[in-house]
Amino acid sequence: MPWSDISSQKTVCALLKRSLQNQRVHHAYLLSGDESAGERLGMGFAQALNCEKNNGDFCGICEGCRAIAGGRYADVHHVKPESRSRSILVGQIRELEKSLFLKASQGRCKVAVIHSADRLMEEAQNAFLKTLEEPPAQTVILLLTSEAARLRETIISRCLVVPLRPEYGREKSAVELEMETWLAEFHDSRAEAPAVFRAYRLAGCVLGELKRMKDEALESMSENLKDAAYENLEPQQRERLKERFEAQAQADYIRERGGLLRSMQEWYHRQPQFWTDARGAVRTRPFEIIERLSRRLNQNVNESLAWEVALLELAGEQGGEGR
């Protein structure tokens, strides 16, 4: 099964294939997005790194490709959440590191695939930092996650972040559709207004929608607090319940905000002029900007400023069309 058969991730496939052909393979990749897609890409990359053809692609039929697909290849190591808490523990990482520091026994390259990397416990992430920073020779590490924002910044910064194209087929919310309309207007008006004006205009739309989401979540929480049953509770019980309602309101808001970010990635994936240049080379910059915005929003930052900075960066990328 060559790269061309992974039709849902053509951009990422082209990026990985070109890195192999140019012999510019990064030591660690963070495949951020749908994990089933990440697993297909991870297996393909492991096969391409060790395929007998050795041309940047993989045949899927040589002994190495078949062994990797069947999970029998000695130099491809998988780490998955296995404990009761569905977490990846430090002991699993230490065992992996022992294997990676051994010489490859079967192929050209050792590959470590960390499934659900966001499940790495804090201690496991700390233990893995040194290996990510200075990996053994002939080793490539792949971290797969649908929630990259849950990883420590020190882990993310040591990887080449590759946002995956969202899997289609789900029903979009009205807010996500509205975001796609705003993005189209944002780019279509580039001949009419300077980048900074368009960026702040789009920021106004986004921040206005986010305020509406937050107000709705708080209003729902307030209604719950007015319930007669709530008033009859003891003070300590009321305080605990209030905290639960506040946490739920925040979770609802973060989920809705995530829908906006997801719709941005989907829209850019459908606009090849923004992620390829005139020579057809892949440019991941728009996706990197959105991924960085997502991480910042999950930290203690000024939300309005984070959106404005990201949208200014995206506006600046328009000048790169066809570069």
212 and 154 together in one domain: no
Q: Which tens digit of pLDDT belongs to each residue from 174-188?
A: 888 888 899 888 888
Q: Which two tokens stand for residue 61?
A: 């039929």
7 and 144 together in one domain: yes
| Confidence category of residue 275, pLDDT binned at 50, 70, 90 | low
Q: Looking at 143, 163, 183, which one is the last position of a domain?
A: 163
169 in a domain, yes or no?
A: no
Top pLDDT among 256 and 71 is at 71
144 in a domain, yes or no?
A: yes
What is the Cα–Cα distance from 311 to 296, expressed in whole angstroms? 13
- pLDDT of 321: 42
46 and 133 together in one domain: yes
| Confidence category of residue 268, pLDDT binned at 50, 70, 90 | confident
Q: Which of 259, 249, 260, 188 is nearest to 221 (CA)?
A: 249
Number of separate domains in the chain: 2
Q: Which helix (H) or strand (E) holds 176?
A: helix 174-188
What is the Cα–Cα distance from 266 to 99, expressed in whole angstroms? 38
Query: Domain of 134?
Result: 3-163
The answer to whether the beta carbons of residues 148 and 118 sit under 8 Å apart is: yes
**To the nearest whole percent, how much of the chain has pLDDT over 70?**
88
